[in-house]
Structure 1
Amino acid sequence: MSVEATGNTRSVVTPTTICEILVERAGADPDVFLGNEHLSLTELQIDSLAVLELQAVIVERFGVEIPDEAVTMTVSEIAAVVNENL
């Protein structure tokens, strides 16, 4: 898991973490993320079921809920939402 430790006890969730979850738990093709950081999950053809799985994993691992609109967000935007709510 790509979670970087900071100077305090708080962890930082990276876009790589989000991609890994989508690949490992939702079956997304890892190649779709390469060079496409500016595209939303919808534009990357990540379906709503994969987003539901992502939401469940984020709640389980980090105790943070991501919005239902996550399908219209980029991986970086989702990571930012998680980090803002840690």
Structure 2
Amino acid sequence: MSVEATGETRSVVTAATIREILVERAGVDPDVFTGNELLSLAELQIDSLAVLELQAVLVERFGVEIPDESVTMTVGEIAAVANEDR
């Protein structure tokens, strides 16, 4: 059943949400994000295990999936993908 049919609203996944998950659930140092908005997760030296944790949390909390290649994307790009078709 669609969100429209049930009357439920879905939360928007923001870049701040992505950063929060990576910090709280994957142990990423929050300072790594400061001034680095245009760098991919790989360029920020965030490993694939952290991305797997991010993927799991996004499915759990928001019911959305992000691609395995998210490690090559910026935080903003990941947020945009998570919000597609919502």
Q: Secondary structure at the match of 1:12?
A: coil
| Structure of higher CA gyration radius | 2
5+ unaligned residues in a row in structure 1: which ranges?
A: 1-7
What TM-score results when the alignment is normalised by the length of structure 1? 0.87
**Moved beyond 2 Å, runs of 4+:** 8-11
Q: Which residue of 2 aligns with 1:51?
A: 51
The structure whose RCO (Cα within 8 Å, separation 6+) is larger is 2
Q: Which residue of 1 aligns with 2:9?
A: 9
Partners of 1:64 and 1:85 within 8 A in 2: no
Q: What CA RMSD, in Å, does the superposition of the two structures yield over aligned residues?
A: 1.3
Q: Secondary structure at the match of 2:12?
A: strand
Higher strand share: 1
Within 2, Cα distance between the matches of 1:23 and 1:49? 13
Q: Which residue of 2 aligns with 1:70?
A: 70
Within 2, Cα distance between the matches of 1:54 and 1:31? 18
Pairwise CA distance, 1:10: 3.6
Within 1, Cα distance between the matches of 2:85 and 2:33? 24
5+ unaligned residues in a row in structure 2: which ranges?
A: 1-7
Sequence identity (%): 82
Pairwise CA distance, 1:11: 2.3
Pairwise CA distance, 1:81: 0.6
Q: Which residue of 2 aligns with 1:38?
A: 38
Aligned residues: 79
Shift in alpha-carbon separation, 1:60–1:85, aligned structure 2, 3 A: farther
